Structure formats: C-alpha cells, structure tokens
Amino acid sequence: MSNLYAGLMSGTSMDGVDALLADLGAPRPRILAHSHVAFERSLRAELLALNAPGENELERAALAGNALARHYAQAIAALDLPAHGAVRAIGCHGQTVRHRPERGYTLQIGNAALLAELAGLPVVADFRSRDVAAGGQGAPLAPAFHAAAFSSAQEDRVVLNLGGFANITWLPRSGAVLGFDTGPANCLMDLWAARHLGTAHDENGAWAAGGKADAELLSRLLEEPYFLAPPPKSTGRDRFNGAWLEARLRGGEDPRAVQATLLELTARSISEAIARHAKGARRVIACGGGARNAALMRRLNELLAPAVVNASDRHGIAPELVEAAAFAWLAQQALGGRAGNLPAVTGARGGRVLGAIYPK
C-alpha cells in the first residue's frame, strides 16, 4: 500500500498555501515535491475580515472556502503527483477563521469536498474539531508529528513554529512530549508592517532591527494574562489582533520602535515559555515563516543561549513545509485509524482519530 501523502497548509500569516508530497514509509518523512501558491490581496483581506463578526459572514465564508479549495487544488496540481506514484490522500488543515475551544468550537474553512472533486483524491480535513469535542484545545496538533520527525535520543529539543502565532513542542530524551501556543509570532509584526510600510511583512526583520524596543510598551504587552496561563492552551486572532495592540498604545509612538517592540514581544514570550516549560533544551529547531526572519532568529539565539537555535532545513524539512508535512502525516494517521492528538498537549480526554474523510 502506498505511503505517499500530500499535505496542505495555509496558516495564520495568510500569505498563501504550501503543499508537499511526502513519503511517510520511512522512520523520518521524505519530501518528494513541494509548491507554493500565493493568495491574491482580495482573498487575504477577506480571510482576515472573517476573523471577526461581519455582515453576511456565512455566505462570505462559504465563498472564501470555495476560493481556498481552488487554490489548494492548484498547489496540488503543481506537485505533479502522477510522476511519483499512487497517492493515498491529501491532508488539509484549512484556514482558521475562528478558534474558540473555550466555547466548544473551532472553524477552519476550505471546502474539502470541492478539493476532493478538483484533485481527484481523498481529502482528510477538519482535524481540530474531534479534539475539541473531547474537551481539548484542538491545537497545537503538530507536536505528535514533531516527535516523529525531530526527536533525538542524544539531546533534549524544542521545535518552535513561527507562523502567525508561535507554538513550541518540548521533546525531552525521556518523559512526555509537551506543546502549546506561546502567543504571537508574525501576526502583529506583519500587521504593523502592512500599515506603515505597505508590505506583507518586514523582510528579514530589517525595519525592526533598525529600531529600539520601547520598554514601557513591551511591559504593557507582556502583562497579557495569556502568557502566564499554564498549558494546555492555544490562541489566535480572536485574542491577539489589531484591536489588542491599539488598546496598549498610548499614541505618538515611533512606528519603527513599535515594530522593534513587537519583535521583542515575540522573542521574549517564546524564551520565557521555554524557560518555564522546556528547561534544559539544548537545541531549538525553528520552522514556519519566522525562521527566515534573520533579526528574530538572532534575538532568539541571544535569549535562549546556551541552547542553539537553527532552522528546520538542517534537520531535513524546510521551515515553510513543516506544517504541511504534519498534515500529510495526520492524514496517514486518520486513514490508519490511529490517534493524531497528544492529550498532554491539547488537554483532550484521550487520544482521538482526527479528521473527516472526503472520498475522491
């Protein structure tokens, strides 16, 4: 039986969709092909708008889900799957527009039925809902995959995902895997860069690196109770958004200093979470778009020393592909009837098979 699975991820940075084809038959996943399809400005704006209540949002969410399915199908087509052999299924996380596990729901759009129709392959989607139904946070879901792909018998490690939000996975040589969202990673920095630079992000963190963090503003940002809340926990744009930031500004701040402060917020909240919950880590493996932010990586190396922080491509998977690989792996788990969550991470009552299966 084929061990080839495709994975799709469009994360909270909302810049586009990453797709890959992975051979999951070996102890470590082997990436055979990958692609990226960018979101046009109008779709990204609509996805951002759907994170808050709005007029006619049910129809708008359905239409955005259809548009996402077409982007996903385009990314899958770019993998040239027939050249590699029979593919079992596509694992598709979908685009999170609401995440409220404390109220018993989470919502990822993407119309998996349409994707199955367009791609001609089974699709496994809606991974978070089963964990939430079992009393869990529904996130993060990647730690089980991180353990399979990046654990080491020689050293205690942390996998750090730097997407729109940051989450860590603690991989000790012995003992239980732990994982949780630490807070914002790129989301607030990207928002501020778009507002003041007119760009999707601060390339390499260069704008932030040229500024000086505002100590008083940083102190106000770090007062957010989420940072000290114990795991299991997860978060998203429902909490950390433009309104959250505006409420903590006093007015008249230098925009570049704010960007430097937001970078420091990301680095500090991550380093403090690791110090509290993953003490003894000797290596931090960074993935997600933020792993390409040179200024952020420098600051993390400073704060986390003597642990070494490096990007996941040194460990076999490019940073921008780790989450897509995780959902290919979760699709394999689902078709095999195996649990995909870690109750110690999400807080669910037990292991659960995650995902709804849409046949081709």
pLDDT tens digit string along 132-191?
A: 999 999 999 999 999 999 999 999 999 999 999 999 999 999 999 999 999 999 999 999
Let me know: does 2 contact 32? Beta carbons within 8 Å. Answer: no
Q: Domain extents for the chain?
A: 4-139+321-358, 143-315
> Any residues with CB less than 8 A from the CB of 264 and at least 6 apart, and which?
213, 218, 299
> Any residues with CB less than 8 A from the CB of 9 and at least 6 apart, and which?
17, 18, 93, 323, 324, 326, 327
Cα 139 from Cα 134, distance rounded (Å): 12
User: What are 157's strand-pairing partners?
Assistant: 171, 283
* The CATH fold of domain 143-315: Nucleotidyltransferase; domain 5 (3.30.420)
Residue appearing with tokens 């799957």 = 81
Domain 4-139+321-358 homologous superfamily, CATH: ATPase, nucleotide binding domain (3.30.420.40)
* Amino acid at the residue 8: L
Task: Answer yes or no: same fold for 4-139+321-358 and 143-315.
Answer: yes
Q: H helices then E strands: how many in the chain?
A: 13, 13
> Any residues with CB less than 8 A from the CB of 165 and at least 6 apart, and which?
12, 181, 182, 183, 184, 185, 187, 235, 236, 240
ω before 122 within 30° of 0 (cis)? no
DSSP H or E run through 298: helix 294-304
Q: What is the pTM of this model?
A: 0.93
pLDDT tens digit string along 68-113?
A: 999 999 999 999 999 999 999 999 999 999 999 999 999 999 999 9
- Closest by Cα among 119, 126, 127 to 6: 119
Confidence tier at 10 by pLDDT (50, 70, 90): very high
